[in-house]
Amino acid sequence: MESDDPLRRLLVDFFDLAENVPQEELTQRNIPAWDSLAMVQLIGELQGTFALDFDLSEIETLRSYDEIRDTLARKGVSLERQTGS
Amino acid sequence: MSNVEFWIRDFPSQTRQAIMEAVETARLAKVRRALRLFGQLAPELRGTQFKVELLSTYSLEPVLPTLELALSCLPCQAQLQLAPLNDIEGYVSGTTDRSSTEIPNARVVLWRVEEFAPEVLFPLSHAFPDRSPVDDAIQRMRRVVSLHKRHAPGMPLFLSTLALPQNMANPIFASQYSTGAFSAVGRVNQAIYELTSNEGGVHILDVCAWAASGGKNYTDPLLDFMARQPLSAQGQMAFGLFLARCLRPLIFPRAKVLALDLDDTLWGGVVGEDGVNGLQLGHDFPGNVHLRIQRELVELRNRGILLVLLSKNNEADARLAFDSLPEMLLKWDDFTVRQVDWNHKHENLRAAAHELGLGLDSFVFLDDSDYEREQMRQMIPEVRILNESGDPLQMLRALWETDAFDSLSITAEDRTRHADYSVRGARDAQAHGDDLESFLRSLGMEAAIEEIGPANMERVVSMLGKTNQFNLTTRRHSHAELQRLLESGCIALALRLRDKFGDQGIVAALLAVPVENGRTLEIDSFLVSCRALGRGVEDSLWADFVRRAIQKNATRLKASYIPTAKNSIVSELYDRLGLKRVTEDSFATTYALDPVAAAKWPSWIASKNGMYGK
């Protein structure tokens, strides 16, 4: 079901990564293209895709798949539910 | 079909789908994929090279892939060059010494009130006893335009208007006094609109009008504070497509003719069945929708779009409705060609194209009938179908939304085009019966040859962009390219024609570039507007050009005929003018005239400056 995860899909497409990239490698540290310019573009895309606005304090918590997933969950976006549907 | 779908209609379906997915989702990954597929297309599908300079008070770097994709859809091979952030004056005045091949096709200046005149947003916090920040902003814009004209003359300049601020406190109060933020932005914008009417080559990118369509959804305050990039993902794509549409008239000429249906289009109902009294047209619903359609059509006609009536009706019924419906805004004579009979509409459209001397791809078709639209689509794929639904409101929306008639200016010729063509119809009818030369003599034609310069450049660029038939090389020079040719010492002539029907404006042009130490002149472009075909104006222009060439001590002329799908009418022009064929293949026939010999000015055209006797 992992490939149905919309956040994973978004990150894999956004950074043009291999489909089977392990989840723990989806981090800013591991992905050279994830620079400050990409961060701006990514935030715009996350806000558009999940129809939400990040708080300023949340900007620092968007540096990996896990962080973004947790931040989205705090804002009421459950990726699990979307994968199940 | 949306405008974008129309632009990319010739792309393979996989590329089309990828582009539409990118447009609909505004996802950057999809944008990049669409760009990759675009890059793999054959060069002829990708279109011409098109270089655009972007100067901005806010950051566009994160948006560049989206802008590139939007422009690629035109289609063109877009090259975007970003000036350093918020350094508009410095950049505009420091760019004089570019090598000629690098001249951009357009320069776009984007400013917004947040950087450009931030005091305007907080008028009560700033006391300005002497000067208003609005006046300062207007002065600054004028300075940018004059710097541009000094350092990059001829390069089309697009000035953005200021968007009304979306994210501000007290918007209700701000509207209550004349120095408030909204009023101030409006005054600056008014000055920008006025700049374009005074300055040739200056166009408006009306970001204010565009932003109003998306409102807050187009903005993202977080990105604005983080990176000084104010657009949301949705706003970025919408802005890219808006920018592309504004620039498109520099590459593609607008449609010239709207061919349209009568029943259930210009009025509600079918005149042959419901009778004139049963038709719906007027100020009440739903006749007011048809009335609005007519208003839009009258406006198009006044802008120089020719209207052609294609109706399956008895002509007498149709005429009766035109003559007796009191609310009719369009008159019978507003249609340059009327085909009211029971023939197939595609056949009638072909006949109208022939009569007007225009290509089928100059036509747009509006008809409420699914059957008629489908038949037109299949029989003449070149014709652009305007509407997808026969519902009157959907037809009206199609008129509102289409870019088919987009242009950046309106010329004197546009305003009188319908009358010109009607007169031409009368002339043609007259010519049938008479000996041609005595008919031409009866027109009382007088030609003035002008050197191409600022006064007539806009018309010449427009002709270069639109003329298909009498056009030897079909080189679509931009304003900037023409300017460069003029600076290179080219002989550049335009012919202005008057006849007994009035001033016909500039109807022909010729550009010749000195080569081989200047002793040889090579014809770069030679064209005659389709409004003036068959009248011998090309001989007048040629005679005057040759005289000037001899004066300049040219010993040899070189010329070429480059065949296209539409210019076979001039395939033997240079033979007739006495030039010798040098090489010949399917791409071009080249000619030479050596030595340069004087040519005869046609006896039925008077010369304005009296240089040639009758």
pLDDT tens digits along B553-575: 999 999 999 998 878 889 999 99
Interchain CB contact of A41 with B (< 8 Å): yes
Q: Answer with the residue of higher pLDDT: A55 or B437.
A: A55
Mutate to test the interface with A, among B27, B33, B216, B217 (most CBs of A within 10 A): B27
Report the pLDDT value the prediction gives residue B129, as an integer from 0 to 100: 54
Report the pLDDT value the prediction gives residue B425, as an integer from 0 to 100: 66
Q: Residue B614: which pLDDT band, with cuts at 50, 70 and 90?
A: very low
Using a CB-CB distance cutoff of 8 angstroms, which residues of chain B are in contact with residue A54?
222
Position A85 pLDDT exceeds 50: no
- Work out the minimum CA distance from A38 to partner chain B, whole angstroms: 8
In the structure encoding, which two tokens stand for residue B377, read together? Answer: 């689509």
Report the pLDDT value the prediction gives residue B58, as an integer from 0 to 100: 96
- CB distance B394 to B367 below 8 Å: no
Q: Answer with the residue of higher pLDDT: B425 or B151.
A: B151
Our CA dihedral for B350, B356, B361, B363, rounded to 10 degrees, sits at -80
Report the pLDDT value the prediction gives residue B1, as an integer from 0 to 100: 87
Q: Answer with the residue of higher pLDDT: A62 or B199.
A: A62
Report the pLDDT value the prediction gives residue A78, as an integer from 0 to 100: 81
Query: In this structure, which amino acid lies at residue B231?
Result: L
- Work out the minimum CA distance from B61 to partner chain A, whole angstroms: 8
How much is the average pLDDT of B386-393? 96
In the structure encoding, which two tokens stand for residue B267, read together? Answer: 């009025």
Q: For a pLDDT cut of 90, what percent of chain B falls above it?
A: 70
Lowest mean pLDDT across B44-48, B160-164, B173-177, B383-387: B173-177
- Residue in chain A nearest B228 by alpha carbon: A40
Position B391 pLDDT exceeds 70: yes
d(CA A38, CA B62): 8
Report the pLDDT value the prediction gives residue B547, as an integer from 0 to 100: 94
Position B121 pLDDT exceeds 90: no
Using a CB-CB distance cutoff of 8 angstroms, which residues of chain A are in contact with residue B223?
40, 43-44
Report the pLDDT value the prediction gives residue B432, as an integer from 0 to 100: 52
Position B609 pLDDT exceeds 90: no
In the structure encoding, which two tokens stand for residue B5, read together? Answer: 């779908």
Q: Is B131 helix (H, G, I), strand (E, B) or coil?
A: coil
How much is the average pLDDT of B131-142? 88
DSSP state of B388: S
Q: How many residues does chain B have?
A: 614
Position B130 pLDDT exceeds 70: no
**Closest CB to A48 among B26, B61, B227:** B26
Q: Residue B176: which pLDDT band, with cuts at 50, 70 and 90?
A: confident
State whether the Cα torsion B136-B141-B145-B151 is positive or negative. Answer: positive
Ramachandran angles phi, psi of B110, nearest 5°? -115, 120
Taking alpha carbons only, the member of B473, B461, B527 closest to residue B106 is B461
Using a CB-CB distance cutoff of 8 angstroms, which residues of chain A are in contact with residue B227?
40
Position B97 pLDDT exceeds 90: no
- CB distance B201 to B156 below 8 Å: yes
**Closest CB to A54 among B61, B222, B231:** B222
In the structure encoding, which two tokens stand for residue B435, read together? Answer: 């000996």
ipTM over 0.95: no
Q: Residue B197: which pLDDT band, with cuts at 50, 70 and 90?
A: low
Report the pLDDT value the prediction gives residue B606, as an integer from 0 to 100: 93
Using a CB-CB distance cutoff of 8 angstroms, which residues of chain B are in contact with residue A41?
28, 62
Taking alpha carbons only, the member of B282, B288, B358 closest to residue B327 is B282
Report the pLDDT value the prediction gives residue B412, as an integer from 0 to 100: 74
**Closest CB to B226 among A10, A14, A40:** A40
Report the pLDDT value the prediction gives residue B153, as an integer from 0 to 100: 82
Report the pLDDT value the prediction gives residue A61, as an integer from 0 to 100: 92
Q: Give the distance, in angstroms, between the CA of residue B529 and the centroid of all CA atoms in the same chain.
A: 16
Report the pLDDT value the prediction gives residue B98, as an integer from 0 to 100: 55
Position B429 pLDDT exceeds 70: no
- Residue in chain B nearest A54 by alpha carbon: B222
Q: For a pLDDT cut of 70, what percent of chain B falls above it?
A: 95
Backbone conformation region of residue B502, classed left if phi is above 0, alpha if psi is from -120 to 50, else beta: left
Report the pLDDT value the prediction gives residue B340, as an integer from 0 to 100: 94
Q: Residue B516: which pLDDT band, with cuts at 50, 70 and 90?
A: confident
d(CA B119, CA A62): 35
Interchain CB contact of A33 with B (< 8 Å): no
Cα separation values, B176 from B126, B171, B181, Å:
18, 9, 10
Position B145 pLDDT exceeds 90: yes
Q: What is the mean pLDDT of chain B?
A: 90
Strand order in the sheet with B384-385: B337-341, B306-312, B257-260, B363-366, B384-385
**Closest CB to A40 among B29, B30, B223:** B223
Interchain CB contact of A40 with B (< 8 Å): yes
How much is the average pLDDT of B603-610? 86
Lowest mean pLDDT across B92-106, B139-153, B205-219, B528-542: B92-106
CA angle (B510 as vertex; B505, B516 as ends), nearest 5: 160
How much is the average pLDDT of A1-16? 85
Predicted TM-score of the model (pTM) = 0.77
- CB distance B457 to B200 below 8 Å: yes
Q: For a pLDDT cut of 90, what percent of chain A falls above it?
A: 84
Contact A40 B229 (CB under 8 A): yes
**Closest CB to A45 among B28, B227, B229:** B28
How much is the average pLDDT of B296-303? 96
Ramachandran angles phi, psi of B510, nearest 5°? -145, 135
**Closest CB to B220 among A16, A47, A49:** A47
- Work out the minimum CA distance from B51 to partner chain A, whole angstroms: 24
Contact A47 B30 (CB under 8 A): no
Report the pLDDT value the prediction gives residue A83, as an integer from 0 to 100: 45
- Work out the minimum CA distance from B110 to partner chain A, whole angstroms: 20
Report the pLDDT value the prediction gives residue A8, as an integer from 0 to 100: 95
- Work out the minimum CA distance from A84 to partner chain B, whole angstroms: 22
Residues B95-104: contacts with CB within 8 Å, 24+ apart? B95/B151, B95/B152, B96/B151, B96/B152, B100/B484, B102/B51, B103/B51, B103/B152, B103/B155, B103/B480, B103/B481, B103/B484, B104/B51, B104/B52, B104/B53, B104/B155, B104/B480
Using a CB-CB distance cutoff of 8 angstroms, which residues of chain A are in contact with residue B61?
37
Q: Residue A37: which pLDDT band, with cuts at 50, 70 and 90?
A: very high
Position B199 pLDDT exceeds 90: no
**Closest CB to A45 among B227, B229, B233:** B233
Query: In this structure, which amino acid lies at residue B280?
Result: Q
Residue by residue, DSSP assigns B13-67 as HHHHHHHHHHHHH--HHHHHHHHHHHHTS-HHHH-SEEEEEEEESS--GGGHHHH
Q: Residue B446: which pLDDT band, with cuts at 50, 70 and 90?
A: very high
- Residue in chain B nearest A35 by alpha carbon: B62
Q: For a pLDDT cut of 70, what percent of chain A falls above it?
A: 89
Using a CB-CB distance cutoff of 8 angstroms, which residues of chain B are in contact with residue A48?
26, 232-234
- Work out the minimum CA distance from B218 to partner chain A, whole angstroms: 11
